[in-house]
Structure 1
């Protein structure tokens, strides 16, 4: 009986929390439409504190920062939105506009044709979507195989066997892509420079020589951390060390 009460209370407050988040989102959207971007940002951030994240929330928050010419926050939240919805054309388009405000222009090292194709395919969906697709294809395989098994006609058996085999292959591919996407997210942790100007050093200490400078809004790959410093790599392969508080991890 006590467990049922706990479940009911948890479910009740979950509904209340979701309703509050929806109300806050509508309020923030209205503030944004009225041109009150600071208030909209404050409202959107309240939703983030309740951990009610979504691609649309990050996207709207990025738009509000973009309207105020906040370079780093706008790029950061567009990137967060893309993590949840990597195929959204509006997010990609607005991210390009925000990146035009950056000072640093870094050319990405081109990938080989095959590597680029595989990377683009894996990046089509996030880890969760690939996982769900693998479940769908596995269910499809089981259903189609059962239909094949109980079919009498030879033609039907061939057709359903072939389709079930395709479903099995797609299931396996989806599982592999899900793990690859998860591995990419874990091993290729990135961050956005939030300080207006950052000194990138050759070594992780205050006495090290400056190698070059970066400016707010630049995206970097985080390789390792050491004693309050992060070793970073740029899109062109250049590496260096910066203080941990100079960026915000994605």
Structure 2
């Protein structure tokens, strides 16, 4: 066997061995969960994450385990991570709602204009990678329609093929634009969950500055900036402030 073939074989073996091992650990975690041994189940799920597998199912089950242990911050954190991988999943949203009801902070989102709501609803129909895939599909259809226009003999069929090619090309261009816009929104959004039971939010990144408000475990924030060991955060209602970075955990740290 050549070195190249041996290397490929070893890579495939390592991959399938890793998948098999993670499945075994997942089954062990399920057994612990069913027995009410939530801490042991958490250890198993965290082992799967250390092995490099990040799935909505693992994060969702970690959220359930922490919820059973009344650890509100971690439960919301893992439900939110699961939701990033499986947006709009009904079961995740349902359990997240239960966990959020146990938070101390009630943060109301800033009202959006009708145009902003329409824009958000339309852009978020698909994720940015799904918009990109749709763009590729529409470009392929455009090429096929254009070829049909070129080779068809009858004027009526050529007209239909031409109109279809224009529609597909326009749809592809729109899909590229929407993919770009949503990707920019994704990059600008840097969510995190407060893990401390209670933390002071300062006006400036130092302990001597004015305390503008307090936050508690499980509250979701958006990280805007960082200076040394401090992070600037914004709430859904528009309030901003600084807190030591060890009081929160970023959600997109896959």
Residue 139 of structure 2 is matched in structure 1 by 138
Q: Is the 8 Å Cα contact of residues 44 and 61 (structure 1) preserved in structure 2?
A: yes
Question: Quick check: 1:197 aligned with 2:206?
Answer: no
Gaps of 5+ in 1: none
Question: Quick check: 1:2 aligned with 2:6?
Answer: no
1 CA distance for matches of 2:31 and 2:202?
45
TM-score (norm 1): 0.92
2 CA distance for matches of 1:26 and 1:147?
53
Q: CA deviation at 1:188?
A: 1.7
Post-superposition CA distance 1:39-98 (Å, at most 9, x none): 222111111111211222222221222222221111111111121121212222221111
Q: CA deviation at 1:241?
A: 0.4
Gaps of 5+ in 2: none
Post-superposition CA distance 1:130-172 (Å, at most 9, x none): 2222222222322333233323333333333333333323322
SS in 1 for 2:45: helix
1 CA distance for matches of 2:57 and 2:159?
45
- Structure 1 range deviating more: 217-226 or 146-155: 146-155
Q: Is the 8 Å Cα contact of residues 224 and 231 (structure 1) preserved in structure 2?
A: yes
Q: CA deviation at 1:33?
A: 2.9
Question: Quick check: 1:220 aligned with 2:194?
Answer: no
- Structure 1 range deviating more: 139-148 or 34-43: 139-148
2 CA distance for matches of 1:31 and 1:143?
55
Task: Tell me the number of residue pairs that the alignment of Structure 1 and Structure 2 aligns.
Answer: 250
SS in 2 for 1:213: strand
SS in 2 for 1:163: helix
Post-superposition CA distance 1:218-240 (Å, at most 9, x none): 01111100010001111110111
- Structure 1 range deviating more: 127-136 or 234-243: 127-136
Question: Quick check: 1:55 aligned with 2:56?
Answer: yes
- Alpha-carbon RMSD: 1.8
2 CA distance for matches of 1:153 and 1:35?
72
SS in 2 for 1:235: coil
Residue 82 of structure 2 is matched in structure 1 by 81
Deviating above 6 A after TM superposition, structure 1's stretches of 4 or more consecutive aligned residues are: none
SS in 2 for 1:198: strand
Instruction: Tell me: CA distance 1:56–1:196, structure 2 relative to 1, closer, same or farther (3 Å).
Output: same
- Structure 1 range deviating more: 203-212 or 133-142: 133-142
Residue 161 of structure 2 is matched in structure 1 by 160
SS in 2 for 1:104: coil
